[in-house]
Amino acid sequence: MARLSQARLQELNHTLNDRTPEELLRWAADIFGSRLAVISAMQMAGSVVCHMVAQLKLGIPVLFVDTGVNFQETLTTRDRIAAEYGLAVHTLLPELSMEQQTNQFGILYLTTEGQEQCCHMRKVEPLLTQKGKYDCMIGSLRRADGGKRGVCPILAVDPEMNTVRLNPLANLTNDQMKAYIQQHNVIINPLHDQGYTTIGCNRCTTPVLPHEPKRAGRWRHLGAAAQYCGINPTDMDDATSVSIDLPQDLVDRILGIKTDFMI
């Protein structure tokens, strides 16, 4: 095994910065083969990634975490994407139903500490059941979303999952995304047309007013303290000093290091 740190990805990220999302997806399919999956919460950018993967016929599966308290519109979007794009969408579930969790721990999402615990149990832990199956997971973070995502790298390491994270849409502007959606009539979660700029669980997501920041509707009841759920490693504060362990030949392929040598 070889260690791959976020710092070692810096030069590659610089090189990949000029690639289109489709080129990045093809690059990932070439490097990671079957050990590659999309992770989507069935929001707008995730739908764009799913559409691109389907168009390119890359055969990449999609992972969706169903917290048990998703909006029905989100579940319908998931089902449409699976059926109409012909993608294998795998739904991951938490160990406890929301009712069981509430009976055991109370209504966690009402406090900042509880929200972290709830998001970990209902979002992060279901994803962790997939640990070891994939070397790269494709997300849909965009720098145009601002906040911590304003500097999100194209490639990041995810130490908790021990995978690379690829954000092929990192450089996609709002106008470019809108144009892609219109051009291809991409399946979009209908809540986006009802004022929901981002969409999470129905307990913790509200629409936003036109003057509010994009993520103002997430955990609104907790004020500014809660902004992210922890499922995307680059949203967290210590994201730059982390590393993962992958097979040496895979690290060499990722970094473009030639391994042709004579023994």
- Contact positions toward ligand SF4, by CB under 6 A? 67, 69, 109, 115, 118-119, 122-123, 200-201, 203-204, 229
* 229 carries an active-site annotation: yes
Beta carbon nearer to ligand SF4, 6 or 101: 101
Q: Is the dihedral of CA 182, 188, 191, 197 positive or negative?
A: negative
Residue at shortest CB range from ligand SF4: 201
Backbone angles phi, psi at 50, to 5 degrees: -60, -40
User: Rounded distance, CA 122 to CA 97, Å?
Assistant: 9
Backbone angles phi, psi at 258, to 5 degrees: -75, 140
Structure letter (DSSP) for residue 189: -
Strands 62-65 and 89-92: parallel
Beta carbon nearer to ligand SF4, 33 or 106: 106
SS3 for 246?
A: strand
Nearest approach, Cβ of 118 to ligand SF4 (angstroms)? 3
Nearest approach, Cβ of 26 to ligand SF4 (angstroms)? 33
Q: Is the dihedral of CA 149, 219, 161, 87 positive or negative?
A: negative
Beta carbon nearer to ligand SF4, 122 or 192: 122
Nearest approach, Cβ of 123 to ligand SF4 (angstroms)? 5
Nearest approach, Cβ of 68 to ligand SF4 (angstroms)? 9
Beta carbon nearer to ligand SF4, 42 or 118: 118
Q: Give the residue numbers marked as catalytic.
A: 229
